[in-house]
Every structure is written in C-alpha cells, then in structure tokens.
Amino acid sequence: SQQGEEDPQALSIQEGENATMNCSYKTSINNLQWYRQNSGRGLVHLNLIRSNEREKHSGRLRVTLDTSKKSSSLLITASRAADTASYFCATAGGQGGSEKLVFGKGTKLTVNP
Amino acid sequence: ETGVTQTPRHLVMGMTNKKSLKCEQHLGHNAMYWYKQSAKKPLELMFVYSLEERVENNSVPSRFSPECPNSSHLFLHLHTLQPEDSALYLCASSQSYPGRRHYTFGSGTRLTVV
C-alpha cells in the first residue's frame, strides 16, 4: 500500500533538544505532507514537499525527502514544550499510484520542560 | 479557527438514535473529506466529494450516509451505529482533488456510541 509509516511511534525529549521523525512509504508519490495534531483536535498542515524536491525549511522545521529510499524526515530544532503533539506524514500518489492522501499512524512527540 | 468548522464538538448517542455531523468551510475549496480517527489506527478516509460529487466511498457501512448540498457544506448522517463507531470524525477540505494540495482540517467531532 502507499501508506506512510512513521518512526518512532513515540518520542520523548527535553526542551531545547532536536526531534527527528521519519516516514517511509511504498509506492511512487506526487508529494509528501507533514501534519501536526494536538490531543483530540484536528490536524494542522506543516509542510508539503514535492517528489522533485529534496529539502524544505520553515522556521524550526526541516523536511527532507529521499525518493530513492522512499523516506522522509521531519526535524524540529530547539524544541519547546508547545511542540508536544502527534505528527503524521501523508502521501499523495504519483503515476500509477492512488491519488488520494493517505496518512500513517503518527509519531507522538513529548517535549518535557 | 482553521476555516473549517465542525459541529457538534462532542456527541453521545444511543445505538438507535439518528444524528448528523456538520462541516462548513468558507475557504473557497472545491473538495471535502470525511475521515475517521480511532485510537492506535491510521486516519481512515471515509468519503470524498469533489465539486459536490462523491468520488470516493471506501467501503463504509451504510449506517454512515454523507451529503454534500453545496461546495461549502458537508454532512455525515448517522443511524443505528455500533459502539465500535466511537471515534473522532474529522472533516477536511482542499483546493483540489486528488491530494496535490494540502488539506485544511476542522477540529473534529468526538462521537461516543453507547
């Protein structure tokens, strides 16, 4: 299936440390997106990286994409307690793949003050 | 507020009840989605409407019935639900379908079936 799979499932760090979350997928994609969800709330879009892009930066967030390894990473630098949330990757299929946006199970990040 | 509003935020219903979830967006998007989020499971895509036409129905039981009267509103009608249907139901919208643009989500409706 095209579904993204995040790794690790849970991550606990101290404030100020960097957090890295990984996502792997199985089929070709058009783009890969990262979302954040605070407990019991809706998902908030963080970043979209297209299949022909390798890296994108947005503030303290850095997203990389390696289509040869079918993997992506989300790096949050200088983490804050407010970054505590679940983070999801979602893939949108490329040629021959399903076009709908498919989400993984997410990484639960806890940033301890 | 994200621009996608879901009501109610919480809903408790018996298995014989009929209720509806409502989603509204004023972002000018032309695609709308219903997702189900259960504990320890990936988000499950239930229905997709693109230009007010249903384009996806992912083997969802008939006790869930979607309705999209116009491009700004989406409903999920519920009847004779089961306890395993308890979950967070999320509505989302996007500029286009398929997933070539990012989605904007509502805050969800927490549904409990008793």
| Residue A57 contacts B where some CB pair is shorter than 8 Å | no
Residue A86: pLDDT above 90?
A: yes
The answer to whether the beta carbons of residues B110 and B88 sit under 8 Å apart is yes
Task: State percent of chain B over pLDDT 90.
Answer: 74
- In this prediction, residue A97 carries a pLDDT of 44
From residue B21, how far is each of A21, A97, B56, B68, B92 by CA, in Å? 33, 31, 19, 12, 13
**Cα–Cα distance for residue pair B107/A42, rounded to 1 Å:** 4
| Residue A50 contacts B where some CB pair is shorter than 8 Å | no
Q: Do B105 and A104 touch (CB under 8 A)?
A: no
Mean pLDDT of A48-67: 96
- In this prediction, residue A99 carries a pLDDT of 61
- Beta strands B31-37 and B87-94, pairing class: antiparallel
Return the structure tokens found at A17: 């440390």
Closest Cα partner for A66 from A47, A75, A83, A53? A53
Residue A1: pLDDT above 50?
A: no
| Interface of chain B toward chain A, CB-CB under 8 angstroms | 2, 4, 6, 35, 40-43, 45, 48, 56, 88, 90, 92, 97-108, 110
Q: Residue with structure tokens 């999209």?
A: B68
- In this prediction, residue A95 carries a pLDDT of 52
Mean pLDDT of B40-59: 84
Could you tell me how far CA A53 lies from the centroid of its own chain?
Answer: 15
Q: Do A30 and B40 touch (CB under 8 A)?
A: no
The answer to whether the beta carbons of residues B93 and B49 sit under 8 Å apart is no
Q: Is B85 helix (H, G, I), strand (E, B) or coil?
A: helix
The Cα of A92 is separated from the nearest Cα of chain B by a number of Å equal to 5
When mean pLDDT is compared across A61-75, B66-80, B92-106, the lowest value belongs to: B92-106
Q: Is A35 helix (H, G, I), strand (E, B) or coil?
A: strand
**Residue A81: what residue type?**
A
Of A33, A42, A99, the CB nearest to B90: A42
